[in-house]
């Protein structure tokens, strides 16, 4: 069978997949599980483990990294990286994550998930906020004692501003900035933090220029108003270059430049959450490179395709005044940083970011044709010029992706009724027909 | 050189270690870093990467697991374990973590750090609390909408009770229960959650029986009072079997049975944080096995020596009412779960828990002798019957452990002036003289 052939010969999920799910169900909550390889079915994966597989399954460069002597040691002798890194740690970082540090951000903090990375970024922003207020003065006894009781002034009431429909993770801090779905948030105590409107752009963009510009100005105004009038001081703002889980919502470079201006003006730390947009899929290595910001964001967080997590920053004031304030036992995982190094090598050696930009343009053009043929089922196609980071709205996204799977393609949903394409970076022109054929079959069967 | 010889031939840190630290400092905050292998010095490690190395460096069983075909796939094809686990996942869990599930707790949720595990446990408790209140009723529109604004009733004001001097992690939820040191908490917004006194036992225990019993009763009373009168409903209580970071503070089985009784009585989820005590060091596989509780805790969290993290639970009501409420992209790391399987095999095959109990008894006896000789420098030795989980108070713990390093032994501190011993599970009788000799040298030089 050609590598490019898909094959689905059972119902989905097939009987063996169901049996494995039942086995799992005995000890873990397996209601979200889709086992895809138990029945011999073969799919084109355009969801990529929730956008987290960078360069394909069984990639030889990754397999080699997984068998390196450094990996053996990282796995068998897991270090508390903040205290006792091996002498190789600096070299490992230089040969991996530091190679792709966003422009202007040469400092790194490693973590284990996007959620953790965002929370570490919030903590850095809060510590900086209070450091500026303290203006060189020592911690007071009152601060030291009150923080042990979770009380002011030691535990200050400070806020992070996020956007409606954003997703930044599920820890208690990160979930307080997540605004995508009730299923993520209901019943979990949250901080009293503000949310601003994210631009709801109308498509096609060229037919709604003035309207969309007004919408972005409205949102920027709301952001500034919240920063200046929210009942708690706003220490940081967090934003995705493209809102992903929330529905693949894009905004213009002007909007992001506006955010940079407002945050600079009010001394608010600007955190760009590149957990899903980072590592090339948008046709730039970092999604925020599309915006040509006049000065870099203060913090950029990453995870998913990086295969590890953490954040980059540039301002050394974001390093806390004392050691051990930003710290934990493992401080990331050197095994996963080694895998990240292999991913980065593969991306850079094969110029996969440029490939993504090129393939994305072709894919977007094909999708536009489908939107013309099926205007009620392929609505608001978006992601032009954003590599393969492409999405469209439909009528019943859940049923749509189920039908796609029966036709040999694994895709995901987001937002309310959005189908999001998340191919890996090795997705090329030869995969496009498989995807488009499956889309065409599903669309024609729905509209029949 | 014998494997049992230590060697320190430079100042500590030596020149090469300092050079590596400077190299790291260029890109990360390296003030907490102690590189121990750059100058050819050789130490006995009785701190074990902050108590997280289970069975020694370069353990052959771990090295074999690191080179297995399953590992290769886990590293190169990292799965979103909640959605798309491989068909091997159930088998991997059964052959690793499920083997050592605490009695009565047969359900598992995997995570990546102790902090994450504790926060997932809190979320499970909060969801359960509201589920009971809802009593089978559907989510209301008001709940669904208000939670998107971080407001009641959707984002309820509920609390987790923890203990003074406890450490449960550094996320925004876990840090709200951590009460060990200001350096962990200062400047970080916290939830308005209560802390109860943890028993401050007096040593030697046999000379303070009535006093200690009264102290434990006082603390239990305070716990019940906080649960019934705190300004927010208390949905969960979290406690370490031995407070570790907070100073190696022990309490009796009767105290923990009291906690179990109070939490049962008031419908509060009892979470036992075994991040540091789990995996054998106390002479039982789980620290709480020392307490002979009449019914198991509701949740037990783990990390560190497990080399991965997560929580066990028994009550299926702790599985949320709907799918995707407890979920994230990676849901743990199957590579680290495979390492955990090797650790568990090594512990069970070599009966290391029993060994720890035996070696700990001898080590404790030796330490008692030192306490008799140097009563002002080795105070309140504790951990009798708790395996190698042994500690003592001294005058200047920071200077003490620096002197220990110069004498070839790496140890750690905790609490205010406590030296904590955290040998690996492979620490045997033949290592005791090395440790005791170094302690004796340091003690005699300080007291000289």
Q: What is the dihedral of CA B295, B299, B304, B307, to 10 degrees?
A: 110
What pLDDT does residue A82 have?
Answer: 87
Residue B4 has pLDDT above 80, yes or no: no
B6 vs B40: CA distance, rounded Å: 11
Confidence of residue B418 (pLDDT cuts 50, 70, 90): very high
B345–chain A nearest CA distance, Å: 14
Of all residues in chain B, what percent carry a pLDDT higher than 70? 99
Please indicate whether, in this complex, the C-beta atoms of B190 and A150 are within 8 angstroms of each other.
Answer: yes
A187-197: burial string, b at 16+ Cβ within 10 Å, e else: bbbbbebbbbb
Q: Which CATH class is domain B69-348?
A: alpha beta
Residues of A in contact with B164 (CB under 8 A): 148
Q: Which range is least confidently modeled, A53-57, A264-268, A336-340, B143-147?
A: A53-57
Tell me, letter by letter, the H, E, C secondary structure of B57-89: CCCHHHHHHHCCHHHHHHHHCCCCCCCCCCCCH
* Averaged pLDDT of chain B: 95
B20 belongs to the catalytic site? no
The candidate with the shortest Cα–Cα distance to A54, out of A268, A346, A298, A250, is A346
Question: Which residues of chain B form CATH 3.90.1150.10?
Answer: 15-58+351-447
**Before A115, cis peptide (omega within 30)?**
no
Spell out where B265-417 has E strands: 269-273, 299-302, 309-313, 379-382, 390-393, 409-410, 412-414
Closest CB to B27: pick one of A57, A98, A114: A98
What pLDDT does residue A1 have?
Answer: 46
Exposure of B152 by Cβ count < 10 A (0-12 exposed, 13-18 middle, 19+ buried)? middle
The candidate with the shortest Cα–Cα distance to B97, out of B343, B297, B289, B317, is B343
Q: By the 8 A CB rule, do A364 and A384 touch?
A: yes
- Mutation test of the interface with chain A: which of B12, B19, B29, B82, choosing the one with the most A Cβ atoms within 10 A? B29
What chain B residue is nearest to A177 in terms of C-alpha separation?
B150
Please indicate whether, in this complex, the C-beta atoms of A189 and B157 are within 8 angstroms of each other.
Answer: yes
- Mutation test of the interface with chain B: which of A22, A29, A121, A194, choosing the one with the most B Cβ atoms within 10 A? A29
The helix (H) or strand (E) run that includes residue B110 is strand B107-111
The helix (H) or strand (E) run that includes residue B140 is none
DSSP B296: -
Please indicate whether, in this complex, the C-beta atoms of A186 and B154 are within 8 angstroms of each other.
Answer: yes
A151–chain B nearest CA distance, Å: 7
Exposure of A296 by Cβ count < 10 A (0-12 exposed, 13-18 middle, 19+ buried)? buried
Which fold is adopted by the domain B15-58+351-447? 3.90.1150
Q: By the 8 A CB rule, do A303 and A171 touch?
A: no
Closest CB to B154: pick one of A24, A110, A182: A182
Closest CB to B84: pick one of A36, A65, A130: A36
Confidence of residue B1 (pLDDT cuts 50, 70, 90): very low
Confidence of residue A35 (pLDDT cuts 50, 70, 90): low
3-class DSSP state for residue B162?
strand
Exposure of A156 by Cβ count < 10 A (0-12 exposed, 13-18 middle, 19+ buried)? buried
Residue A363 has pLDDT above 60, yes or no: yes
- Catalytic residue, from A39, A61, A304, A394: name it: A304
Confidence of residue A86 (pLDDT cuts 50, 70, 90): confident
Residue B3 has pLDDT above 60, yes or no: no
- Catalytic residue, from A109, A122, A126, A167: name it: A167
- Mutation test of the interface with chain A: which of B30, B150, B178, B247, choosing the one with the most A Cβ atoms within 10 A? B150
A167 belongs to the catalytic site? yes
Closest CB to A115: pick one of B63, B320, B328: B328
A439 vs A108: CA distance, rounded Å: 41
- Catalytic residue, from B122, B167, B198, B291: name it: B167
The candidate with the shortest Cα–Cα distance to A314, out of A121, A105, A110, is A105
Instruction: Give Cβ neighbours of residue A272 (< 8 Å, ≥ 6 apart).
Output: A238, A239, A240, A241, A286, A287, A288, A297, A299, A300, A301
Residue A294 has pLDDT above 50, yes or no: yes
Q: By the 8 A CB rule, do A162 and A121 touch?
A: no
Residue A445 has pLDDT above 90, yes or no: yes
What pLDDT does residue B36 have?
Answer: 64
Q: What is the layout of strands, in order, in the sheet containing A390-393?
A: A379-382, A390-393, A418-421, A412-414
A329 belongs to the catalytic site? yes
Residues of B in contact with A37 (CB under 8 A): 86-87
Question: Which residues of chain B form CATH 3.40.640.10?
Answer: 69-348
Residues of B in contact with A328 (CB under 8 A): 113, 115, 169-170
Q: Which residues pair with A239 in a beta bridge?
A: A272
Provide mean pLDDT across the span B73-77: 96
**Phi, psi dihedrals of residue B360, rounded to the nearest 5°:** -60, -40
Predicted-complex ipTM score = 0.96
Q: Which range is least confidently modeled, A293-297, A347-351, B78-82, B161-165?
A: B78-82
Exposure of A179 by Cβ count < 10 A (0-12 exposed, 13-18 middle, 19+ buried)? buried
Half-sphere exposure of A268 (CA within 13 A, CB side): 28
Residues of A in contact with B80 (CB under 8 A): 49-50, 52
3-class DSSP state for residue B268?
coil
The tens digit of pLDDT for each residue in B158-167 reads 999 999 999 9
Q: Is the dihedral of CA A278, A282, A286, A288 positive or negative?
A: negative
Q: By the 8 A CB rule, do A182 and B148 touch?
A: yes
Tell me, letter by letter, the H, E, C secondary structure of A113-171: CHHHHHHHHHHHHHHHHHHHHHCCCCCCHHHHHHHHCCCCCCCCCCEEEEECCCCCCCC
**Phi, psi dihedrals of residue A382, rounded to the nearest 5°:** -145, 160
Please indicate whether, in this complex, the C-beta atoms of A335 and B330 are within 8 angstroms of each other.
Answer: no
B106 belongs to the catalytic site? no
3-class DSSP state for residue A235?
strand
Q: Which residues pair with A236 in a beta bridge?
A: A160, A269
What pLDDT does residue B6 have?
Answer: 84
The helix (H) or strand (E) run that includes residue B202 is none
Q: What is the layout of strands, in order, in the sheet containing A195-196?
A: A107-111, A309-313, A299-302, A269-273, A234-239, A159-163, A195-196
């Amino acid at each position: 069978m050609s590598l490019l052939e898909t094959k689905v010969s059972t119902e989905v999920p097939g009987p063996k997949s169901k049996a494995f799910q039942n086995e799992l169900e005995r000890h873990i909550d397996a209601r979200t599980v889709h086992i895809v390889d138990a029945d011999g079915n073969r799919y084109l994966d355009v969801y990529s483990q929730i956008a987290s597989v960078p360069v394909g399954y069984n990639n030889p460069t990754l397999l080699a990294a997984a068998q390196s002597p450094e990996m053996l040691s990282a796995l068998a002798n897991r270090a508390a990286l903040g205290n006792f890194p091996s002498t190789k740690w600096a070299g490992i970082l230089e040969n991996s994550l530091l190679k792709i540090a966003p422009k202007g951000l040469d400092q790194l903090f490693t973590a284990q998930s996007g959620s953790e990375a965002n929370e570490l970024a919030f903590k850095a922003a809060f510590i900086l906020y209070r450091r500026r207020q303290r203006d060189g003065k020592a911690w007071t006894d009152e601060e030291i004692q009150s923080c042990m009781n979770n009380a002011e002034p030691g535990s200050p009431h400070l806020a992070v501003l996020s956007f409606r429909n954003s997703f930044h993770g599920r820890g208690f801090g990160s979930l307080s900035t997540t605004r995508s779905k009730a299923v993520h948030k209901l019943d979990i105590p949250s901080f009293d933090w503000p949310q601003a409107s994210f631009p709801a752009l109308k498509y096609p963009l060229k037919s709604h220029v003035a309207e969309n510009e007004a919408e972005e100005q409205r949102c920027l105004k709301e952001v500034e108003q919240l920063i200046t009038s929210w009942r708690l001081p706003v220490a940081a703002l967090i934003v995705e270059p493209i809102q992903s889980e929330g529905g693949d919502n894009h905004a213009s470079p002007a909007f992001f430049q506006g955010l940079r201006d407002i945050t600079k003006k009010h001394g608010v730390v600007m955190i760009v959450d590149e957990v899903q947009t980072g590592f090339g899929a948008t046709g730039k290595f970092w999604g925020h490179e599309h915006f040509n910001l006049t000065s870099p964001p203060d913090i950029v967080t990453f995870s998913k395709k990086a295969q590890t997590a953490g954040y980059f920053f540039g301002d050394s004031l974001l390093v806390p005044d004392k050691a051990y304030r930003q710290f934990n036992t493992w401080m990331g995982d050197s095994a996963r940083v080694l895998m990240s190094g292999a991913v980065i090598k593969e991306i850079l050696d094969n110029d996969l970011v440029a490939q993504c930009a090129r393939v994305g343009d072709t894919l977007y053009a094909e999708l536009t044709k489908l939107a013309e043929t099926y205007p009620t089922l392929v609505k608001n196609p978006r992601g032009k010029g954003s590599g393969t980071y492409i999405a469209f709205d439909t009528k019943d996204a859940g049923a749509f992706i189920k039908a796609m799977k029966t036709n040999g393609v694994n895709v995901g949903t987001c937002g309310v009724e959005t189908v999001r394409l998340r191919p890996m970076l090795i997705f090329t022109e030869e995969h496009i027909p498989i995807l488009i054929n499956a889309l065409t079959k599903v669309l024609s069967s729905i509209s029949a």
